Structure 1
């Protein structure tokens, strides 16, 4: 795992070891956007398994799997999980509220 500013640089180069949930750590909004665009281009047409605590990253996935205590708590697409109102929806709303401040 890359530390500090190394994550965004590795992600932008298309490194397979970049953690998409941490790739934008320590960057501003413009750099974060560039990192996520680079990751989208890198993943296009490929199967990928991003693991992220950043739910903004997860919302682009075809399938989101929420784990709790080592077991699958819920799974589905972003819209489906938001509509279900479960743990994912609650966590997503909490993270989104942090950006609105």
Structure 2
């Protein structure tokens, strides 16, 4: 099963859909590998569709932070779209809404 689906880069923005309900220890390793395979030299921003994600744990958060750290420092951005309330609560609890743009 693919964790990241429909990934493409347009004008420096890598857009992809996370295709699992749980971004946790079981799926985060594959998420990282699949994001790595989609990554190009010109990626300056990432937009992830979280419409299918109902749950995220520390491993999933770590995987998202890994995506953020790969971007150009100071200019890169990560946008999470269609974020469900339980996932948004975790991100806000960890104060990561300061580095990830969240759009519900």
TM-score of the pair, normalised by structure 1: 0.36
For the pair shown, the structure with the greater C-alpha radius of gyration is 1
**Of Structure 1 and Structure 2, which has the larger fraction of its residues in helix?**
1
Higher relative contact order (CA 8 A, sep 6+): 2
Q: TM-score, normalising length from structure 2? A: 0.36
